[in-house]
Every structure is written in C-alpha cells, then in structure tokens.
C-alpha cells in the first residue's frame, strides 16, 4: 500500500468533485507533485470505456468487467508510474465505488468483484499468475451524505447519466455498500460528513490529510 495513493468516494451529489481541486492545491502548496485522475477513466482507453459504462444499458457483470478493464489500464499507465515517481495520486473514485455501485446498488456478487479486484490490483508475475500485495489507496475519503439530500442537490443540475438517473432507493444501497467496505478497513477510510457547509467539509478533508502526514499541522 502506497501512502501517497488517495481515493475520494461517495454517492452522486455528495459534493466530492468540488473539493478535489482544493485538496490538490493544498497538497501542491505543501510541496507534493499531485496527479489528479478519475475512474472510470484516466487514460484514453478508460475514458472510452467510461462513456459506454455511463450511457449504455448493460448487465452488472458486463459493467463490472468494463470498469475493471478500465481500471487495469489506468493503474498500469497512470497510477503506478505516478507513484513510482513519488507523486501523490488523487483519484476521484476507485474500487470501493465498484463494490458500492455494482455490489451494493445492483446487488452483484461480491465474491466475483473480489476476484476481479485481486486479478486487476495485484502485480502479475511473468507467468501471468496474480501475486503480491493488493494495490489499494492508503487513504479513502468517503463523502457520506444521506441519499435524500444528494437527490435534492442533484435535482435539475444537468442531464443525468445512467447512474444519476437511479431512484433514491438505489443510492441507499450504494451507501450501504460503502459502509460495508469502510467497516472492513476502518484504518483506510476517513468518513467526511458531507451534509455541512462547504467550509466545514473542507476543514474535515484537510484534517484527514494532516492526520496522514500529507499536510503539515
């Protein structure tokens, strides 16, 4: 696990995106080189897969395979090289989103997702066998917001994609999916109470970065 690998998670409308730029600016001011990226996406191939995943109806296995294919390309072309250079990687969503949306929201098999996670996020030896440590963020900022509040925030904001158009009940299940992941790895997750003023949310975010030694006190 690389301490410079940070992911940002939460349901649609939780407000994470507006804080990512501020996080990157704070980290840069502290002397880090920061690679801001996102999933699905972050490479030309992964961005093409993102368009399919966000706008084309498909079953949950197909969706999961495309998302993990995008992730594989993203890890090998962007995330690993950036971490090898010593950069901070600030990733707008990572595998917790797959467990939350496909696993929680769509009820897809968590064991299959776990298998795909190991395949994609462990170093493969020359014989093609997966082995070694699981590639995971060291810190995951989870913007936690009640689904009802997120729905109000999103209401009429823009033309919704496939996920944003889901009913509130779907997002309740996504939140439960995030909560399950956070309970399994509490040391990795920092839960941000996103139902506050932007200033209060920003203060929690910066405190989480300070707690990990990424910003000075």
Question: Is 9 an interacting residue with respect to ligand TMP (CB under 6 A)?
Answer: no
Between 201 and 215, name the residue whose CB sits nearer to ligand TMP.
201
Write down the residue that tokens 């939460």 correspond to.
10
CB of 168 to ligand TMP, least distance (A): 14
Q: Binding-site residue total for ligand TMP (CB under 6 A)? A: 13
CB of 12 to ligand TMP, least distance (A): 5
Choose the stretch contacting ligand TMP; rule: CB under 6 A; options: 35-43, 75-83, 134-142, 180-188: 35-43
Site string for ligand TMP, 79-118 (x = CB under 6 A): -------------xx---xx--xx----------------
Between 165 and 211, name the residue whose CB sits nearer to ligand TMP.
165
Between 92 and 215, name the residue whose CB sits nearer to ligand TMP.
92
CB of 41 to ligand TMP, least distance (A): 7
Between 104 and 215, name the residue whose CB sits nearer to ligand TMP.
104
Q: Return the residues of window 148-207 that contact ligand TMP according to CB under 6 A.
A: 163
Residues in the chain: 217
Instruction: Please state, in angstroms and rounded to a whole number, the distance separating the CA atoms of residues 87 and 69.
Output: 24
Task: List the one residue from 19, 38, 74, 181 that touches ligand TMP (CB under 6 A).
Answer: 38
Instruction: Please state, in angstroms and rounded to a whole number, the distance separating the CA atoms of residues 85 and 21.
Output: 21
Between 43 and 98, name the residue whose CB sits nearer to ligand TMP.
98
As a three-state string, the secondary structure of the chain is CEEEEEEEEECCCCCHHHHHHHHHHHHHHCCCCEEEEECCCCCHHHHHHHHHHHHCCCCHHHHHHHHHHHHHHHHHHHHHHHHHHCCEEEEECCHHHHHHHHHHHCCCCHHHHHHHHHHHHEEECCCCCEEEEECCEEEEEEEECCHHHHHHHHCCCCCCCCCCCCCHHHHHHHHHHHHHHHHHCCCCEEEEECCCCHHHHHHHHHHHHHHCCCCCC
Task: List the one residue from 4, 5, 39, 135 that touches ligand TMP (CB under 6 A).
Answer: 39
| List of residues contacting ligand TMP (CB under 6 A) | 12, 38-40, 54, 67, 92-93, 97-98, 101-102, 163
């Amino acid at each position: 696990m690389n301490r410079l690998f940070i992911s940002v998670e939460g349901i649609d409308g939780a407000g994470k995106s507006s804080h990512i730029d501020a996080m990157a600016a704070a980290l840069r001011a502290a002397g880090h080189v920061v690679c801001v990226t996102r999933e699905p996406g972050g490479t030309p191939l992964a961005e093409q897969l993102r368009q399919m995943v966000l706008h084309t109806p498909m079953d949950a296995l197909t969706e999961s395979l495309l998302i993990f294919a995008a992730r594989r390309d993203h890890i090998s072309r962007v995330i690993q090289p950036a971490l090898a250079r010593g950069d901070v990687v600030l990733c707008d969503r990572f595998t917790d989103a797959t467990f939350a949306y496909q696993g929680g929201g769509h009820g897809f098999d968590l064991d299959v997702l776990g298998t795909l996670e190991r395949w994609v996020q462990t170093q493969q030896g020359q014989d093609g066998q997966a082995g070694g440590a699981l590639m995971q963020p060291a810190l995951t900022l989870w913007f936690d917001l009640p689904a009802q509040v997120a729905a109000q925030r999103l209401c009429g904001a823009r033309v919704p994609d496939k996920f944003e158009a889901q009913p509130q009940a779907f997002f309740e299940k996504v939140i439960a999916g995030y909560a399950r992941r956070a309970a399994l790895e509490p040391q990795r997750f920092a839960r941000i109470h996103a139902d506050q003023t932007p200033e209060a949310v920003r203060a929690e975010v910066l405190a989480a970065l300070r707690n990990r030694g990424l910003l000075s006190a």
